[in-house]
Amino acid sequence: MYEKERLKIGNRISKVTIILNLLLSIVKIFAGIIGKSNAIILDGIHSISDVLSTVCVIIGLKLANKPEDSEHQYGHEKIEPIISKLLAFVLVITALMIGNKAVNIILAKNYTTPGKIAVYAAILSIVLKEWMYRYTIKGAKKINSAILITDAWHHRSDALSSLGTLVGIVGARMGVAVLEPIASIIICLIIIKVAVEIYIKAANQLMDRAADKGTIEVIKKDILGVKGVIKIDDLKTRIHASRLYVDVEIAVNKNLSVIQAHTIAEEVHYKVEDNIKKVKHCMVHVNPY
């Protein structure tokens, strides 16, 4: 049920943002042509690239939801951080394109004075793309999806790009056209920083990094709360994309029968998996105390 609900939420968010991005890209390209603003036209093309990245998100969520098979006995969840790393690269390339365009404008001093419609299109883009970021990031945190978090930052990168475009358009109309490329360079650096952070997080999900301290403390409390568990001899956790594996060794009374010890271990197993939804499997080993 957890995986089905997760896929449902992820797909709903992705479909909403695809539709909005397509409409926004059409509006921006049209406004750029009417208002004679190359920056707005390029911004519209950038929005189309976000559509492609969101399509990758839908594919990634679908593949990650596939059940275990003989060749992938631990499931397919790790496809998410793999695609997330690829999208982080796309973010960097997008940022570098923005930065390169800005530098070329400064060197060539190729400034233009766009019309008012370009200003309105840029404002619309900033507001809508920031809303899309917040809408997507909220859902991404709810279902703990690295790939959706990356896509959210694609939306914010577009909002930041539009902000730079707005600064440039207003600056050009006020006679200070150099403001646009300067703002774009700053935005480029911000996007690269975010992309690196996303890449590192995705890498950690592929390297069996341990869960955070808060989650580990909750797991310990659940285990020690099971009647018959005297102490925890060893506890290991490893992040598996959006899920978590737990391996624990518990100590029980050495005089218990195998059936009694197994019953305690089984209770620990189900309690950990039921109380922390992102735990995919809890392996329990019993030691005599």
Q: What is the mean pLDDT of the chain?
A: 85
What whole-number distance in Å separates Cα of residue 171 and Cα of residue 217?
A: 53
Give the fold, CATH level 3, of 2-206.
Alpha-lytic protease prodomain-like (1.20.1510)
CA dihedral of 199, 200, 204, 210, whole degrees rounded to 10? -140
Half-sphere exposure of 199 (CA within 13 A, CB side): 13
DSSP result, 72-83 = -TT-STTHHHHH
pLDDT at 134: 94
pLDDT at 147: 80
**Is CATH 3.30.70.1350 the classification given to domain 213-288?**
yes
Q: Averaged over 104-110, what is the pLDDT? A: 79
What whole-number distance in Å separates Cα of residue 83 and Cα of residue 202?
A: 9
Domains of the chain, by residue range, sit at 2-206, 213-288
For residue range 165-184, list pLDDT tens digits in order. 788 788 878 877 777 677 77
